[in-house]
Amino acid sequence: MQSKKVIEVAIAELENLKAKNIEVIDVRGKSSVTDYMVVCSGTSKRHVMSIAGNVEDELKLQSIVAIGSEGHKGGDWVIVDLSDVVIHVLTEEARELYDLEKLWRFDMQPGTIIEETK
């Protein structure tokens, strides 16, 4: 499945699960690990774990299987790796601390984020 379709399905489910500040960052040519990162926040550790688990389940129903996921035990930051798309679900505190958006925009012009939702 194409990356854009994976992103569309993921965002729809993230919105359904009330994830906050969903952003998609194009890291093609800047990362050898993935092409896109979807970054979003949950309101608590439990919400973060729920978002990540449920989005992974919904993607699986759409025949999009994660190659791995990490962080379910801690709950501050859970990663769902879909190869060309990596979903990062963080508590608001962890998101502010790690500031992934700033990290991956280090050589980009403002506005490089390809999509931002609620």
Tens-binned pLDDT, residue by residue, of the chain (118 aa) = 589 999 999 999 999 999 999 999 998 888 888 999 999 999 999 999 999 999 999 999 999 999 999 998 888 999 999 999 999 999 999 999 988 888 777 554 555 555 555 5
pLDDT of residue 109: 53
Query: What's the total number of domains in the chain?
Result: 1
Instruction: Supply the CATH number for residue 67's domain.
Output: 3.30.460.10
Strand partners, 87: 38, 80
User: Residue 109 gets which letter from DSSP?
Assistant: P
Please, are residues 14 and 51 in contact by the beta-carbon 8 Å criterion? yes
Whole-model pTM: value is: 0.85
Residue 90: left if φ>0, alpha if ψ -120 to 50, beta else—which one?
A: beta
Give the range of the structural domain holding residue 110, as residue numbers without chain letter: 3-116
pLDDT tens digits, 84-101: 999 999 999 999 998 888
User: Residue 69 gets which letter from DSSP?
Assistant: E
Tokens of 83: 């190869």
Alpha helices in 22-89 (DSSP H): 45-61
Please tell me the distance from the alpha carbon of residue 118 to that of residue 104, in angstroms, as a whole number. Answer: 20
pLDDT of residue 13: 96
Q: For residue 52, give the amino acid letter.
A: A
Token pair 């994830």 in the structure block, residue: 19
